[in-house]
Copies of this chain bind each other. A is one copy, B any other.
Amino acid sequence: MSTTFSSYNARTGEVLGTLTASTAADIDAAANAAAAAFPLWQASSGAQRATLLRALAAGLEAGREALVALADQETALGPVRLNGELDRTAFQLRRFADIAERGVPFEYVDDPAVAGAPPAGHPAMQRWSVPLGPVAMYAASNFPFAFSVLGGDTASALAAGCPVVIKGHPGHPQLTRQTWELIQQVLAAQKLPAGLVGLVQGASNEVGVQLVRHPAMAAAAFTGSTRGGAALAAEAAARPRPIPFFGELGSINPVIALPAELQAKGAELATTLAGSIALGCGQFCTNPGVVVLLDVDAEARGINDAFVQQLAQALAGQNPHAMLTQGMRSNFEKGIAHWGEAGASFVMHEVAAAGQPPRPVLAQVGAEAFIAKAALREEVFGPSSLVVRAASVAQALQVLQAVGGSLTVTVWGAQTESSDAQALVRGAMAIAGRVLFAGVPTGVAVTAAQQHGGPWPSSTRPESTSVGDAALARFLRPVSLQDAPAWLVARQGRPL
């Protein structure tokens, strides 16, 4: 039995096309084809992997015009952003190509025999890494290139030696299909099995659930909401053979601004922050959803009040584009309403004209209420931020503890060492995967030292990252070889 689902124009809601959802048999076939491609791909050299990844980057660039136009229709993210995102996606593919070519997936620890009795004596050992197997990759809505079909998860999994089965995001299903067809052309040109990168699509949760339950899947990578990610993570753990689930979930990314810093350059920081809040219509997992201000005395209160006004003004000048889907728009309105119900007061809450994109929202609440009410700590996906007024550094630390886990925390004003700065940095590092001391959390560099993943609920595996060079390590596991024969040692870490 096959069902259909639609592609929509994100700006107008108009139906752009109708697609056939993957059936249980389709999902089974994609998973089995990935498993069948695994032996060949795990034994591939770094050069082979690099050749594939570079051809995928080139294919993406060659198809740029049509892909960006389609992405713009399905997501409303606009050609400037989408071209930039495509560049980043090609950059990522080439970066993982370089990593594979340098032999990173094949690095091993050589541990020659030590004569004598244990515990000091031991046999010859080598600690290799082997790819986990087929990876179920759940595409995100908000990055139709960089966290979708050919995004960082696919690039790092292929570089690690793992086939991939993509669960396309229903927010951009035609773009998903076209990007996947591009991959199929590259695979065919390189005489690689079509099953090395599979695709399943559909609008129901059932497609994703069936995929994570499939016995051939060895790992899952996910970018999306906390609710969806937690549900799939539970599925991964409940399998007869549990598999690792690398979920990058929701995050509220507190920005803590010290009064002295706001006094020195409040206007500039307000402009920067407003741009970050409204960027991409606020549809970033690193969107600064909470701004913590320290009302340590009357002077600080005055500075903070002024900053809130500056921020509201700067936000008023922002004109967010349409949201990715009608459902997200509706969730945004609901999230804002929850803030009001939980006692936040609105500094800025314009009602958008019918059919127009949302206006930025700024609300404010005391730290005690924020700490007491979970509803105030839920991610509101969209162009909004909640100012939390804390009476002291100690209370600001309680605010961070109440947040519990976040992809990022930003601390403005910790450039000089002090006990307050130390305490805030300690509190920030305790709950975040990335701590910033300047600028804003949106914009995640694809680089060696990146960490995109923080404590629960911001990710399911805070020891891993979905962006940056270390993303590859998610899909490898160590195997020690004891007294390995010369012919195996000669492979220098490359699995058979």
Contacts and interface: CB of A to CB of B under 8 A. Distances in A.
Interface of A: 39, 84, 87-88, 91-92, 108-111, 114, 118-120, 122-123, 125-128, 130, 233-234, 237, 241-242, 244, 404-405, 414-417, 421-422, 425-426, 429-430, 432-439, 443, 445-451, 455-457, 460-463, 465, 470, 476-485, 487-488, 495-496
A438 B496 contact: no
A126 B449 contact: yes
Contacts of A426: 39, 495-496
B435 A481 contact: yes
B480 A451 contact: yes
A130 B479 contact: no
A258 to B, nearest CB: 13
Given A109-B449, A417-B487, 8 more contacts: A88-B119, A111-B449, A118-B443, A127-B451, A241-B457, A433-B479, A434-B481, A435-B481
Contacts of A455: 241, 477
B485 A414 contact: yes
Nearest to A436: B482
Contact of A445 (B123, B478, B487, B495): B123
A477 B456 contact: no
Contacts of A39: 426
A118 B476 CA distance: 28
A465 B480 CA distance: 10
A447 B125 contact: yes
A88 B118 contact: yes
A221 to B, nearest CB: 14
Among the interface residues A127, A244, A443, A461, which one has the most CB atoms of the partner chain B within 10 A? A127
A439 B483 CA distance: 9
16 contacts: A88-B119, A119-B445, A119-B446, A125-B448, A126-B449, A237-B237, A241-B404, A414-B485, A425-B496, A429-B479, A437-B481, A437-B488, A439-B483, A449-B480, A451-B478, A465-B478
A463 B477 contact: yes
A139 to B, nearest CB: 19
A160 to B, nearest CB: 12
Given A88-B118, A436-B483, A485-B437, A476 B449 contact: no
Given A242-B456, A425-B496, A125 B485 contact: no
A463 B478 contact: yes
A148 to B, nearest CB: 16
Nearest to A426: B496
A40 to B, nearest CB: 12
A110 to B, nearest CB: 7
The 9 closest A-B pairs by CB, nearest first: A111-B449, A122-B445, A127-B449, A417-B487, A451-B480, A125-B449, A91-B119, A438-B483, A436-B482
A354 to B, nearest CB: 36
Given A465-B478, A480-B449, A119 B87 contact: yes
Contacts of A416: 485, 487
Contacts of A456: 241-242
Given A127-B451, A487-B417, A460 B91 contact: no
